[in-house]
Amino acid sequence: MARIPVFLGLDVEDANNPESDDALLRLCQIHSDVGVPLNLFFAGQKARFMRLNGRHDVAAALADHDICYHGNYWFDYPEPALVYGANDDWDTALSKALSIEIPGLNEVAEVTGQFPTAYVQHQANHSPATQYAVRLGGVRVNNGGFGDDMPHNAWVMDTLFVGRAKRVVGPQGDWSFEYDPLHPERQKPAVDPEQQLRQFQEAFDRQLEKGYDHVNVVGHPTCWVVSEWWGWYEATIPFRITEEHGAVGYYPHDRQWRKTAMRTAADSEAHFEWTRRAAEWLASRDDIEVMKLADYYVRHEEPDGQWLTLAQVQQMARDLMQRFDALKAGDTTVSTADALFLLATLGEHVMRHNKLPAKLQIRRTLGPVEAVPELAAPVTYLRANYLIAARSVYAYIMAHNRTPHAIRAHAVDAGPGEVLLALAQAFSQNELPEQVTVQPTGGLPECAQYPIFQNASAGSTNAPPFYDDSRIAMLCKMQSWSYRPLVL
């Protein structure tokens, strides 16, 4: 029986308390000793903090573990993604995301000595444009997503999405003890390692019984040493609201942080003790496989530049006529956006060369970045209509690397779904029909019903008052066009 992958993840983001460096070092050493790797989600701000603290010992301890990316900032943003992702058009949002995240991505690589494998959004740094910017920066895995999990791991936006939200077990136990400003002398009592380990084991087994294709164990190193959430009393004021636009602006400098309340030495030691025992327990099991996300990606990685034969493309077209969704094609899978590009390329090739090609190359393509029209009546295309539609789609995708949300073919207006099925009908055979008629698609493929697309949202304690995430939710839903399952 195949072993279930388990990813031990830590959000490494506390750039306020230098004690969190000590916690990270200790956790890296524990898991290196036991032989189970960590996936460390580094914020750029934390990496800079570690460098400023001169923690070369921590940097050296990272070598046995997998470095991932958690955004450039946690506080003091130039502008958070949930704001520019909701307020700006796609190209403007993407430009901001690239300018903010690519320097952070490379700085995390420089400080840690490893280029990040995966991206995990945090609460204020969430938008599809940000996800795509990190993908353009070279990160091919997302261990988070932008909504509830899919029923299985899959590719979205040409990134391997390894779901997180519904599959998490927490390793932090009873760490929290809220600071009371009237009684600062009160301290958190030490935890009971036996009880904490038992609770973790029971929670892990319950998660494993749900039948997911992997399990995440996710915590925060800072919680091994602090007794309250770091920055809790500053968490809602990192940004100021401008009167003119009601949007966030630069944080006014000279902000004074209140020192975070620490756990007692005995409490921290007890937590580290049961953490080691939990790692040993996971390592001893033969029904799970504790993995780096880097190794999981290699397991599912596909070669770039894949080609399909004409017969395979024609079979793909016939399959699309039966089901408007991502599907298997040759030795790989294609999203509906990929399929649209393939059929549009086929139309472009026919017009350029007056013949059908022997092979066509796959080009992974984003979904639309505006809402697609929902038609009420069937659409009929003459040969000239569907060929110009194919050429229009090809030109648009080559220029923008995304699916157009609406296409005009001479006088025929439709969404990408209707064009996709019209081209599928036209190119499912070797002769081009004089006309094709397609029924309305509703605009989105069947996979759009998955919770990850239906329930996508963006929220944060740091959001502006009365924040509206409807544009981000729409953009996430549109990326159902870029969904495709793994080839297993």
For residues 398 and 363, is the Cβ–Cβ distance under 8 A?
no
215, HSE (Cβ side, Cα atoms, 13 Å):
21
Specify the 3-state DSSP secondary structure of 437: strand
- φ/ψ of 73, rounded to 5, equals -125, 155
Residues 6+ apart with CB under 8 A from 91: none
Q: What is the DSSP letter of 402?
A: B
At residue 63, what are phi and psi to the nearest 5 degrees?
-60, -35
* R_g of the chain, CA atoms, integer Å: 25
Helical pair 90-112 and 44-52, crossing angle rounded to 10 deg: 30
Strand 484-485 to 154-156 pairing: antiparallel
What pLDDT is recorded for position 240? 52
Containing 317, the helix (H) or strand (E) segment is helix 310-322
Domain limits, the chain: 4-300, 307-443
- Residue carrying the six token digits 């297993």: 488
Q: Determine whether domain 4-300 maps to CATH 3.40.1000.10.
A: no
49 sits in which H/E element: helix 44-52
Backbone torsions φ then ψ of 118, nearest 5 degrees: -130, 160
Sheet strands (E) in 56-140? 66-69, 118-119
Q: Report the pLDDT value the prediction gives residue 123, as an integer from 0 to 100.
A: 72
Contact 401, 394 (CB under 8 A): no
Residue 125 has what pLDDT? 75
pLDDT per residue of the chain (488 residues) written in tens, 0 to 9:
789 999 999 999 999 899 999 999 999 999 999 999 999 999 999 999 999 999 999 999 999 999 999 999 887 778 889 889 999 999 999 999 999 999 999 999 999 999 999 999 887 678 999 999 999 999 999 998 777 677 889 999 999 999 888 899 999 999 999 888 899 889 999 999 999 999 999 999 999 999 999 999 999 999 999 999 887 777 665 555 554 445 555 554 445 567 789 999 999 999 999 999 999 999 999 999 999 999 999 999 999 999 999 999 999 999 999 999 999 999 999 999 999 999 999 999 999 999 999 999 999 999 999 999 999 999 999 999 999 999 999 999 999 999 999 999 999 999 999 999 999 999 999 999 999 999 999 999 999 999 999 988 887 777 777 889 999 999 999 999 999 999 86
CA 330 → CA 41, 282, 311, 313, 487, distances in Å?
A: 35, 38, 10, 8, 10
Both tokens assigned to 11 = 């959000």
Q: Give the per-residue pLDDT at 253.
A: 47
**Count of alpha carbons within 13 Å of 270, Cβ hemisphere only?**
18
pLDDT of residue 254: 47
